[in-house]
A = this chain, B = another copy of it.
Amino acid sequence: MNEMLHGIRVLDFTSNAAGPCCTGMLADYGAEVIKIERPNTGNDERTYGIQVDGMSLLGAWLNRGKKSVTLDLKDPDSIALLKRMVQDCHILVESARPGVMDKLGLGYEAIHAINPKLVYCSVSAFGQAGPYSKKPGYDLIAQAMSGIMDICGAQDGPPVKSGTTLSDYVGAINAFGSIMTALRYAEQTGIGQKIDVSLLMTMIYLNGAVEYLNIGQKLTRSGNHHNTLAPYGLFEGKNGQSIVLAVISPKLWAAFCQVMEKPELADDPRFHTLQQRRANAPALIALIEDWLKTFDDISQAAALLDAAGIPSAKVFDQEDVWTDPHVLDQNYLVDVPTPSAVTSKDTFKARGCIAKFSETPGCVKRAPCVGENNEEILSRYGMTAQEIQALQDRWAKS
């Protein structure tokens, strides 16, 4: 298989979610990602979520396709070794609290002096500099401080956090693209550099604020309905099911009234124009939800709307997503080989690569067990199997 990043070597010091997801993407496209993790237990993401035979499946997804080398970063022997390894790596990614890599002797300046062509990417909650840079950062805090939470939820209710670790994932995708851009530049010019990716800035990027910044108009929560269009938003049916609906033209409004078998509403003075529909939004919403509640399964309503060409969709739960014929048709559900320590199943299911490439499709590969590649990797740097074992034994006792 042609792999876009074949021959690219990555030293990966990341832990938790954002950093490992980013380096997992590098592995999907064929980079050799050498995960440096703590001896014995390995890094924290190995404990996340459900475990099979003692291995976290989420951890296995985050660390897909990587090689694991265990090193105790408090041991000067480890640092000396890493400084040799850095010489023939192209990318280094780390997600420690700002300042920690410097203290270890692995900060950007030290590494750049050894390998000026290397792309050094730091992923952190708040960025490498500034008043909050050394504060503990969590996905939840980046969501709160980006303003994203404040614009989610009902107007008369509290802000709403995302149900997923949004900043971790979007931060990972940002770091990936930023690294690729700098890698290409480094290969062409010989100029490596430091990239500072912060979860907070990534989340702020998603929250435009052009209006606020230029005319002082603050965006607030508008609940599940659009500020200016109607009907446009989320509508509830029976049994907790709901749909989204985007009726964006007079023609679609007339068609929608037909679907509801209430053609008279199209000319109803409460709902005839967009202005009228907005002015009578509560009545409009109630009427649509009454109609939706005539269906035991909201998919039936969605099918009618779809047939009439009205932009709409059932609000999918995870089961709907992963049984949907279109999603399945994308070959986005993949079987990932389990880490070798998992004996009860050969593969687990996960989503595939984030984009489809016609000539060089990525591949989600097996994650390593803790220290699985110690000998393979460290022997390249002149260590014998005995020396490697002696180091690991020393750390096991400490």
**How many protomers of this protein does the assembly include?**
2
Q: Is A303 an interface residue (CB 8 A)?
A: no
- Chain B residues contacting A269 (CB-CB under 8 Å) are none
Q: Across the interface, do A175 and B318 meet the contact criterion of CB distance under 8 Å?
A: no
Q: Is A259 an interface residue (CB 8 A)?
A: no
Taking each of A163, A194, A306, A316, which has the highest tally of chain B beta carbons within 10 Å of its own beta carbon? A163
Q: How many residues of A contact B (CB 8 A)?
A: 134
Given A140-B246, A148-B163: A326 in contact with B61 (beta carbons within 8 A)? no
Chain A 131-157, CB within 8 Å of chain B: the 1/0 string? 111011110110111111111111001
Q: Is A129 an interface residue (CB 8 A)?
A: yes
Q: Across the interface, do B127 and A356 meet the contact criterion of CB distance under 8 Å?
A: yes
Q: Across the interface, do B144 and A322 meet the contact criterion of CB distance under 8 Å?
A: no
Q: Is A40 an interface residue (CB 8 A)?
A: no
Q: Is A181 an interface residue (CB 8 A)?
A: yes
Q: Is A294 an interface residue (CB 8 A)?
A: no
Of A96-104, A164-172, A388-396, the one with at least 4 CB within 8 A of chain B: A164-172
Chain B minimum-CB-distance residue to A235? B158
Q: Is A191 an interface residue (CB 8 A)?
A: yes
Q: Across the interface, do A163 and B141 meet the contact criterion of CB distance under 8 Å?
A: no
- Chain B residues contacting A126 (CB-CB under 8 Å) are 326
Instruction: Specify the main secondary structure of chain A where it touches its partner.
Output: mixed
Q: Across the interface, do A355 and B317 meet the contact criterion of CB distance under 8 Å?
A: no
Q: How long is the Cα–Cα vector from A127 to B213 in the complex, in angstroms?
A: 34
Contact of A210 among B57, B174, B355 (CB under 8 A): B57
Of A216-224, A270-278, A376-384, the one with at least 4 CB within 8 A of chain B: A216-224
Closest 7 CB pairs of A and B: A177-B177, A151-B163, A180-B180, A193-B359, A130-B329, A196-B356, A213-B349
Residues of chain A whose beta carbon lies under 8 Å from any beta carbon of chain B: 2, 4-5, 25, 29, 49-50, 52, 57-58, 61, 108, 126-133, 135-138, 140-141, 143-154, 157-164, 166, 169-170, 173-178, 180-185, 187, 191-198, 200-202, 204-215, 217-224, 232-234, 236, 242-244, 246, 306, 309, 311-322, 324-327, 329-330, 332-333, 348-351, 354-360
In the complex, given contacts A127-B356, A145-B320, A160-B224, what are 8 additional A-B residue pairs having Cβ atoms less than 8 angstroms apart? A58-B210, A108-B358, A161-B244, A162-B162, A176-B177, A177-B180, A195-B355, A201-B355
